[in-house]
């Protein structure tokens, strides 16, 4: 019973591992930066993806506390970057849409700090084989991680597809309104043209008398 409780607690604790997920709006010709203080020798991972706007691309760069650029990509739709810190201090990562003059972007990012803690205490130093319950805990943990990753992936794909569908719907609506206006203009023009064919021209007055 105690081991089962410990297993459940370890699963929940591992699933609540430190990290930040955020979806932000990036206006045209704008840049958004985030800052995180980290110790030296710590691993961090930055995953990001553009959900909507323009060509679904964004510039991204990461700087260490000394101002050195350790990662830089331009016009990327999505990417993942991992790094082990060498110095202690505030690390900065920025998303830039400065190359776009009219397209707003929606950007999702996931910033994870540190390695995942072991699912069971002293698991890395175990000399004996895992019990059936411990093996089940590890298997469930790996399956839950896969489920969470899949849910995040499909959630982002659904948001991206919905944005594209709304954009396409807007274009179709504008095109339909334009076609309707053109149809009315052509119809009125045809009526006026036909009316001019059947209009009797009256002779001008002031004819000579006899």
pLDDT of residue 1: 45
Residue carrying structure tokens 């790094």: 83
Coil/strand/helix, residue 64:
coil
| Distance separating alpha carbons of residues 119 and 76, to the nearest angstrom | 35
Nearest partner of 92 among 59, 75, 115, 69, judged by Cα: 69
DSSP label at 16? T
| 176 contact partners, CB below 8 Å, separation of at least 6 | none
pLDDT of residue 6: 40
Provide CATH code, domain 21-115.
2.60.120.680
pLDDT of residue 96: 94
pLDDT of residue 119: 64
Helices (H) and strands (E) in the chain, counts: 2, 8
Q: What are the domain boundaries of the chain?
A: 21-115, 129-197
pLDDT of residue 200: 62
What are the two backbone dihedrals, phi and then psi, of residue 32, each rounded to the nearest 5 degrees? -125, 130
In contact, 26 and 95? CB cutoff 8 Å: yes
Dihedral of alpha carbons 111, 114, 115, 121, sign: negative
> What is the per-residue burial (b if ≥16 Cβ within 10 Å, else e) of 153-187?
eeebeebbeebeeeeeeeeeeeeeeeeeeeeeeee
Q: Tokens representing 142?
A: 């790996």
| 163 contact partners, CB below 8 Å, separation of at least 6 | 51, 52, 53, 106
Residue ranges for the chain with pLDDT beneath 50: 1-17, 209-210
């Amino acid at each position: 019973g105690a081991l089962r409780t410990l297993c459940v607690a370890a699963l929940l604790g591992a699933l609540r591992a430190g990290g930040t997920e955020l979806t932000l709006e990036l206006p045209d010709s704008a840049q958004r930066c985030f800052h995180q203080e980290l110790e030296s020798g710590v691993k961090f991972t930055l995953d990001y993806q553009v959900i909507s706007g323009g060509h679904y691309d964004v510039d991204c760069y990461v700087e260490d506390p000394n101002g050195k650029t350790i990662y830089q990509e331009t016009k990327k739709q999505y990417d993942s970057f991992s790094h082990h810190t060498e110095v202690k201090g505030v690390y900065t990562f920025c998303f830039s849409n400065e190359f776009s003059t009219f397209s707003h972007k929606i950007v999702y990012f996931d910033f994870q700090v540190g390695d995942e803690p072991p699912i069971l205490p002293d698991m890395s130093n175990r000399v004996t084989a895992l019990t059936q319950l411990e093996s089940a805990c590890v298997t469930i943990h790996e399956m839950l991680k896969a489920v969470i990753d899949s849910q995040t992936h499909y959630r982002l794909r659904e948001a991206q597809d919905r944005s594209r569908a709304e954009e396409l719907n807007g274009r179709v609506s504008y095109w339909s309104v334009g076609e309707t206006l053109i149809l009315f203009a052509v119809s009125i023009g045809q009526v006026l043209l036909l009316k001019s064919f059947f209009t009797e021209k009256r002779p001008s007055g002031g004819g000579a008398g006899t």
